[in-house]
Amino acid sequence: MVIQRVLVVFNKMKSGTVNIATQIKAKMNELEIDCQLFGYLDNPSEVVCHHPIDFVFVLGGDGTVLFSARMLYKLEVPILPINMGSIGFITEVSASEWLDAFLTYKNGQLDVSKRIMIRATVYRNGKKITDLVGLNDGVIGSSGASKIVRYQIDVNGVSLGEYRADGVILATPTGATGYSLAAGGPLIYPEAEALLVTPICPHSLTKRPIVIPGNENIRVTLDKEQRTKISLTIDGQVEYFLEPGDEVVFSKTSEKTIIVKSDKRSFYEVIRTKLGG
């Protein structure tokens, strides 16, 4: 595996990330691999990268991976997430394992996991007004005192019906372990080509989560009469305020986030550990 240029993205608020980033840069210099460091405190609008890269280290937690995936997804380069706390659902590699994982991958002995991402395109009065991308999910929900959101969902033009709920979660398989799971949605193997629709506290027992093939478009249309302010949140990190009557079309992106897998633990082992099985 030829790796000539790497980028290290690290969340400075996570303890130990600066130290590990410095270690990575020193080791890359030793291996004669060009290494750029990008540390951040808040959520910058972009990841600054001065030239093309072949590989990305991400230091932090799952939130840091979500941020990095949104910033870098168009590059489709392998990302090695390194967890700086407890093992996350995405960050399977611990801080003590980063060098072994990198060298094993470089020697062609580690597989990658290709994850679909979700795109949320907002239309107002028939006009496209914004386009947002996330690795985990897009959530339409109340941002006001009253929690009830009224909306309709259709898949490729076929109606799933009208909903009165606290909102709706449109999740990727990667995001199925997040908010969707807490709202009663199922787990999905992270490399599956599917999107998950999970109503949030629906006011009807017949409105249940549904798994949709990844190649289909899901349209959420807000009723024109609402009693609350409504927002669209991407990966729990980016918020966009909606208006009554807005339409949000969810689909998968053509690009995928490429995650380097751990050879120490599988997705099923992480699920068992995190969910207390």
More reliable by pLDDT, 118 or 45: 118
Mean pLDDT of the chain: 92
Mean pLDDT computed over 199-206: 90
pLDDT for 277 equals 58
| Of 45-49, 149-153, 202-206, the least confident | 45-49
The active-site residue, picked from 34, 42, 54, 62, is 62
Mean pLDDT computed over 236-251: 96
Q: Is 62 a catalytic site residue?
A: yes
C-alpha span between 4 and 9 (Å, rounded): 17
| Percentage of residues in the chain having pLDDT higher than 70 | 98
Measuring CA to CA, which residue among 75, 78, 80 is closest to residue 10? 80
Looking at this protein, which amino acid is placed at residue 177? T
pLDDT for 172 equals 98
C-alpha span between 4 and 135 (Å, rounded): 26
Instruction: Please name the residue that has the structure tokens 């024109």.
Output: 224
pLDDT for 174 equals 96
pLDDT for 227 equals 87
More reliable by pLDDT, 14 or 245: 245
Classify the C-alpha dihedral 199-208-133-122 as positive or negative.
negative
Classify the C-alpha dihedral 46-236-172-108 as positive or negative.
positive
Question: What is the band of 213 on the pLDDT scale with cuts at 50, 70, 90?
Answer: very high
Report, in angstroms and rounded to the nearest whole number, the Rg of the chain calculated over CA atoms.
Answer: 20
pLDDT for 42 equals 78
Alpha helices in 144-266 (DSSP H): 179-182
Question: What is the band of 149 on the pLDDT scale with cuts at 50, 70, 90?
Answer: very high
C-alpha span between 89 and 136 (Å, rounded): 11
C-alpha span between 69 and 256 (Å, rounded): 9
Mean pLDDT computed over 32-60: 86
With beta carbons less than 8 A apart as the criterion, state whether 209 and 186 touch.
yes
With beta carbons less than 8 A apart as the criterion, state whether 250 and 229 touch.
no
Alpha helices in 44-168 (DSSP H): 62-72, 98-106
Q: Which domains does the chain have, with CATH numbers?
A: 5-111+261-274 (3.40.50.10330), 117-253 (2.60.200.30)
Three-class DSSP category at 198: strand
Question: What is the band of 90 on the pLDDT scale with cuts at 50, 70, 90?
Answer: confident
pLDDT for 9 equals 95
